[in-house]
Amino acid sequence: MKLIFEQSVAGRRGVKLPVSDVPAKSALPQQYLRVKPAQLPEVSELDVVRHFTRLSQRNFSVDANFYPLGSCTMKYNPKFTEKVAGMSGFADLHPLLPQLKGGEKYAQGALEVLFECERWLCEITGMKAYTMQPLAGAHGELTGIMLMAAYHKAKGNKNKKYVIVPDSAHGTNPASAAVAGYSIISVPSDKRGVMDLEKLKAVLTDEVAGLMMTCPDTHGVFNPQIDEIARLIHSVDGIMYYDGANLNAILGRARPGDLGFDVVHLNLHKTFATPHGGGGPGSGPVGVGEKLERFLPISRVIRRQDGKYALDYDHSDSIGYIASFYGAFGIILRAYAYMLILGKEGLRQTADHAVLNANYLLYRLKPYYQVAFDRVCMHECLFSAAKLAEKGVHAIDIAKFLIDRNIHPPTVYFPLTVKEAIMIEPTETESKATLDEFAEAMIEAVALARSTPDVFHSFPLKMPISRPDEVKAAREMNVNFFARPDAR
Ligand SMILES: *Cc1c(COP(=O)(O)O)cnc(C)c1O
């Protein structure tokens, strides 16, 4: 054991670590001791390389495949941002350093990145200040609702019980509001796909703490009555919460702050091209306007008079710590590099091309699939497979068919408001050739569904696993199955 250790990382760096004289056997409780030797495979380096290379190739990723997963904005993650995140000045920095006495001066660059990234996000969203701490969109939602609660508490608004959420909302919205202690009022959408204004008015009372909205909403539609909604919510001293998952559609064109929102979360891993999927890493910075600034989590990053950056803990109204250290720093750094390289005009073009690509697919697929809302869409287009389902081919079957074509399925069965929903978000980073290839596969699926619907039930045919019980797979994940070298 000692030998192996000294040859390992610490050993290579010349660090001599103390090795205990007490034999492990007598130090550990009997029940934890191994009774027979571990069955470690004895394989050559080449076998190991092949094993892991094969495993990596099973990964369905943006780098390898078109990934039009609606609402998730799975855009290309440029490789130069990886390079920036790997620079030793950032990557080797100890996260405790800025908190230690006198340590700040060694972390000026990193603090500057946090400070400047906040400023860019303020400008982009029309907010006054940001916290970069939340580690995902959902975490940002919880943070935002806690800020909302702190606001009502400070104002003595004791009767605030409800958060309004449109029925098209992402499940994390009502969940976050419920975790923060609010009850949920769900407001239905109208025929155009936007929140029904009359139904909103009907449920609006003094007891409403705020409203959570995705804008453009998860139907891919921009709500033309957004300012009226903000006026209504503010009339009962409610807070307007902006779920930023769809910012990609309006980046550089419209700012949530100007639309009447008081608090915003962004998903850097969606709009700002940082990697995601498989549960992380994420980053969900939260921005606020004047009303909520004093409640932001600590620590806050400040620039002092002398131009030096520091951490500031002196905020007595703060909701406190929301994450360890300063958030997902490596992700924030990638997003900041992405913003700098694109600049103001580049960011705006991002949104323009995302919307153009989605409308191109809407136009190409409209003759073959029912559209949920027949209008120009924003950055994602929404179809329904309800007609095909009558023939026994459901949205999930179309998804499985696409997998065999090496295309990641679009989002299916979300939003819940549309039967057999197929929600496609191509993003701005795809070429016309890729969009055409996808459209042709989708069109072929319809033809096949009409001629031989039964074949769909065995798709996908080319994958190591075909149709797992998805709930069971999520709850009782068996990663060993995938690791088996003989697994197809
Ligand atoms: C992705 C998403 C979220 C949650 O964001 P995470 O970063 O996955 O936690 C919330 N709302 C909408 C509309 C989303 O698409």
Per-residue pLDDT of the chain (488 residues; tens, 9 = 90+): 343 434 444 444 445 555 566 666 678 888 888 889 888 888 999 999 999 999 888 888 898 999 999 999 999 999 999 999 999 999 999 999 998 888 999 999 999 999 999 999 999 999 999 999 999 999 999 999 999 999 999 999 999 999 999 999 999 999 999 999 999 999 999 999 999 999 999 999 999 999 999 999 999 999 999 999 999 999 999 999 999 999 999 999 999 999 999 999 999 999 999 998 765 689 999 999 999 999 999 999 999 999 999 999 999 999 999 998 899 999 999 999 999 999 999 999 999 999 999 999 999 999 999 999 999 999 999 999 999 999 999 999 999 999 999 999 999 999 999 999 999 999 999 999 999 999 999 999 999 999 999 999 999 999 888 888 888 888 887 766 555 555 44
Give the CATH number of domain 80-341. 3.40.640.10
Index of the ligand 1 atom closest to the CA of residue 140: 9
**Residues 349-352: contacts with CB under 8 Å, at least 24 apart:** 349/252, 349/428, 350/248, 350/251, 350/252, 350/428, 351/248, 351/249, 351/250, 351/251, 351/252, 351/253, 351/379, 351/428, 352/253, 352/428
Index of the ligand 1 atom closest to the CA of residue 139: 9
**CB of 176 shorter than 6 A to ligand 1:** no
* Residue identifier of the C-alpha nearest atom 7 of ligand 1: 137
**CB of 380 shorter than 6 A to ligand 1:** no
* Residue identifier of the C-alpha nearest atom 11 of ligand 1: 170
Index of the ligand 1 atom closest to the CA of residue 246: 13
pLDDT number for residue 280: 64
Give me the chain's average pLDDT, please: 92
Q: How far is the CA of 278 from the centre of ligand 1 (A)?
A: 13
**CB of 125 shorter than 6 A to ligand 1:** no
pLDDT number for residue 20: 60
> Which residue from 78, 114, 59, 64 is spatially nearest to 274, judged by alpha carbons?
78
pLDDT number for residue 22: 60
Helix (H) or strand (E) holding 265: strand 263-265
> Which residue from 326, 307, 360 is spatially nearest to 132, judged by alpha carbons?
326
Phi, psi of 189, rounded to the nearest 5 degrees? -90, 155
AA letter at 17: L
**CB of 214 shorter than 6 A to ligand 1:** yes
Give the CATH number of domain 349-475. 3.90.1150.10
Index of the ligand 1 atom closest to the CA of residue 172: 10
Index of the ligand 1 atom closest to the CA of residue 136: 7
Q: How far is the CA of 265 from the centre of ligand 1 (A)?
A: 10
* Domain layout of the chain by residue ranges: 2-32, 80-341, 349-475
**CB of 256 shorter than 6 A to ligand 1:** no
**CB of 71 shorter than 6 A to ligand 1:** yes
**CB of 172 shorter than 6 A to ligand 1:** yes
Whole-number Å distance between alpha carbons of 3 and 275: 38
Pocket test for ligand 1, best of 172, 286, 427 (most atoms within 8 A of CB): 172
Q: What angle do CA 137, 140, 143 make, to 5 degrees?
A: 160
| Residues 6+ away with beta carbon under 8 Å from 299 | 99, 311, 312, 313, 326
